[in-house]
Amino acid sequence: MINTKFINIDPDNIDMEKLKIAADILKNGGTVAFPTETVYGLGANALCEEAVKKIFKAKGRPSDNPLIVHVSKLEDINELVLEISEKAQIVMEKFWPGPITLIFKKSDIVPKIVTGGLDTVAIRLPSHPIARKLIKLSGVPVAAPSANLSGKPSPTKEKHVTHDLMGRVDAIVCGGDTEVGVESTVLDLTSNVPMILRPGGITKEDLQEVIGKVETDPAILSKVESNLVPKSPGMKYTHYSPNAEVILVDGRIEEVVKVINKVKKEKECEGYKVGVMATEETKDKYFGENIISLGSRKDLKTVAANLFKVLREFDEKRVDIVLAETFEEVGIGQAIMNRLMKAAGYNVIHA
């Protein structure tokens, strides 16, 4: 059991002395959870193998699941990668700092434990002021997956991190709620045509506007084989799952509402406690209790920002089953559906 330090920082008025306490922990091989614009991350010195091992231990994370290396400025990536293509340069100039991770061929100084044994490294330059300043103060690149127990919904609030990792990490920097709410887009730039390995806040449409053709890995919305060697976090293992069983209901929204009400009634008659993940347009059409809205279908950014928070709310309500509506797979809707599919273990009812 680790005596976890809590460091409260106002992102609009950063106390650099308090932040230096967290930075020194990173510099000296410890683990620190901290806010980014996507979700909270759990960081350690990416160039220190012993420090990185502590991330896997704290999360209970499989060792072949690659980590993302976070830097505080563009120049920091030069020592971490072998080359930077023209398309990579364009994406970095357009979208960094921001919620996109780029995959490059790694240099020898990046330990294999960070990359899941691969010869590539995933790198991100976050836009959150606390994250940027923390990394800069530490003086090291910071490997950081989401700050949750492996497989659970990613943390978008301080209390989520505390629930999962108190006593498991050296420090938690509390800096308020995150903004995007789903993890960064992961773009592989090592092939001829750039490929999205994980959808996120920067969409395929955003990328195609600046670099032309972009492909999407088929594994994003489908179940992958157990022998897959994951090139990106979130590709292989069950992720984002609350304690409850999650079932998606897909189809025309009018039919979806009917099916969810029918299944909810049946399951409750069997003695289960059932929750419904609804939207503003449908929340009043469901019967009974434990109906939570993600937001309006007209504002999918808000839906994405609320997704993990709502999954955790169902845990707090101790529901047994969550019935969830689906969303159109365009723009950030693809990221929402990727996370929902993973949370549900691809369990879908077609209305």
Using DSSP bridges, classify how beta strands 120-124 and 100-105 pair: parallel, antiparallel or unpaired: antiparallel
**146 residue type, one letter:** S
DSSP assignment, residue 146? B
Is 240 flagged in the annotation as binding? yes
Is 252 flagged in the annotation as binding? no
Is 70 flagged in the annotation as binding? yes
Give Cβ neighbours of residue 288 (< 8 Å, ≥ 6 apart): 264, 265, 268, 274
Does the bond joining 97 to the residue before it have cis omega, within 30 degrees of 0?
yes
**64 residue type, one letter:** D
Give dist(CA 57, CA 351) in Å, integer: 41
Beta sheet of 321-325, edge-to-edge order: 291-293, 274-278, 321-325, 245-250, 348-350
Spell out the alpha helix ranges (H) of the chain: 16-27, 49-59, 86-95, 112-115, 129-138, 158-165, 204-211, 253-269, 300-316, 333-344
Is 63 flagged in the annotation as binding? no
Is 272 flagged in the annotation as binding? no
CA-derived radius of gyration, the chain: 20
- Residue 102 three-state SS: strand
Is 120 flagged in the annotation as binding? yes
Is 146 flagged in the annotation as binding? yes
DSSP assignment, residue 106? B
Scan for tokens 């680790």, then name that residue. Answer: 2
Is 128 flagged in the annotation as binding? no
* Chain mean position to CA 270: 34
Is 154 flagged in the annotation as binding? yes
Is 132 flagged in the annotation as binding? no
- Residue 224 three-state SS: coil
Count the residues in the chain.
351
Is 286 flagged in the annotation as binding? no
Binding residues for ATP: 61, 65, 120, 144, 146, 154, 198, 240
Binding residues: 38, 61, 65, 70, 120, 124, 144, 146, 154, 184, 198, 240
Binding residues for L-threonine: 38, 70, 124, 184
